[in-house]
Structures are given as C-alpha cells and as structure tokens.
Amino acid sequence: MTTTVRRDLTRCRSVGSRLAREALLVVGAYLAYEAVRRLVAPDSPEAFARAMNVIRFEQRLGIFYEPSLQQHIIDHDWLVTLCNWVYVWGYLPVISLAALYLYTLHRDSYARYRNAFLLSGAMGLLVFATLPVAPPRMFPEFGFVDTVRDNSVVYARFEGSDLVNEFAAMPSFHFGWILLVGIAVVRTSRHLAMRVAGAALPPAMLASIVLTANHYVVDALAGAAIVLLALLAVCAAERGTARMRRPTPALR
C-alpha cells in the first residue's frame, strides 16, 4: 500500500470520525430535547386554557383564519395528503439532510447553524415548561380536523405515545427550524435551484402546520422569533470571539 493511499485512508477515517461525533452530538441533543420536553409536560387543563387565550388573541387581531383555511382543503384528498407529507417528511429528514449538506460542503458555516439549532431548542424547552399550549387539532368545536393522525396510523401511534408532549404547540419548531434550514441554504448555496428550494421550505412548512391543525399562526411566529434570536446570539458570539483572537497593534 502506497503512502498516498495510506494518507487518503487516514483522512477518510478522520472525516468519518468527526462526522460521527457531530451526528451523535446533534441526534443526542435532539433526543434529550424530546425527553425533557415530555418530562416537563404539564396537566392538560392549563394547556387547553392557554390555547383558548391564543385563539381569543388571534380573534382580537382578526387573524384567526386557521379553521376556514383548513376547510378549503379538507375535501381534496390530494391536498390533505400533500400537507401531511410536508408536515411529516419535511421536518426531521430535511433538517438531517441540511446538516449533512452544511457539514460536508460548508464546514465554516456548519457550527453557526448547529449552535443556533441547539440554543433555540434549549430556549424552547423553557417555553414548553412554563407556557403549555394545546394544538388546534384538539378543538374540533372550532372546525379543526386532525388530518395527520386521521391519515397516518404509524404517526398517530407515535404522536399519541409517551414519547411526545401533546401540549407543546408553542413555539412551533416545525416552522422555526425549517426557517433556519432555509436561511442556511439560501446564504451558503451558489446554485439558483438550491436557493429557490431553501426559500420555498419555510412557507411550505407554514402552510402544512396550519392546514393540518397542528399549530396556530402565532405558534409559527413564536418559533421564528426564538430561532432568529438564537441565530443572532450565535453570530454575536462569533464576532466577539473573532475580536478576542485578533492580534493587538503591539503584537502586530
């Protein structure tokens, strides 16, 4: 075996090892996030009461359109299936692919979005613990239909299990984290098709979470606010670190 081949194999092992460590970090953090989110789940009466406050708040603002919007698609099976598909497969699979894309092609930007992902998740747990909110699908009296659970047996079993906090509607990380993915793709890719896809991801997810009755519009706004705040904090920390590492005039 030549020296070049050995060097290439060593480099591949090193890259694979770093990628495995990153995967363990992100996946482990997400599993811990889900476990803690379940542990801090409060009793349902408080969550239902707060959800009614959200509905009244949207009604006062004149933006409580979720039931009427859903009624426009409920009789069209293909639209319901499309929204369900985006809600289920446009979330964790898309986040995972985006992480792999950033890690392999844009390593300099990967840490920024990974840290924003982790920080926003930690911030979200505080909200879930203190502000439980029942999702729209639990209010059929307003005309909401749980399209995902009614049309996906596997997802319904998972969603209704002890693995998931049923009252973590606000903030919506389905929207917030996909918004983060969209920002990352648009800002790092030079290919028009990739940038268009990145820009299309957040509105597609916003439509799906509302039309499947899993989140209110306010939930999406809260998710976006937390994610953007986390991203700004990470960027500020990066700038501070860069200033600290910059040599002083005397050292120059």
pLDDT in tens, 149-183: 766 554 554 454 444 667 888 899 999 999 999 99
Using CA of residue 48, residue 49, residue 51, residue 56, what is the dihedral sign? positive
Smallest Cα–Cα separation from 132: which of 168, 162, 165? 168
CB 143 within 8 A of CB 70: yes
The whole domain housing 56 covers: 16-245
Residue 252 lies in a domain: no
Assign 94 a pLDDT band (cuts: 50, 70, 90): very high
- Determine, yes or no, domain membership for 251: no
Given this model, what pLDDT does residue 252 score?
52
Q: Is residue 8 part of a domain?
A: no
Confirm whether 1 is domain-assigned. no
Counted domains in the chain: 1
Q: Is there a domain that residue 6 lies in?
A: no
Q: Say what the pLDDT of residue 95 is.
A: 93
Say which range, 114-128, 185-199, 223-237, has the weakest mean pLDDT: 114-128
Tell me whether residue 44 is in a domain.
yes
Whether 38 has a pLDDT exceeding 80, the answer reads no
Q: Is residue 153 part of a domain?
A: yes
Q: Choose among 81, 110, 92, 82: nearest CA to 22.
A: 110
Check whether 37 has a pLDDT greater than 90.
no
**Cut 0.85: pTM above it:** no
Residue 188 counted as domain residue: yes
Chain position carrying tokens 């519009």: 217
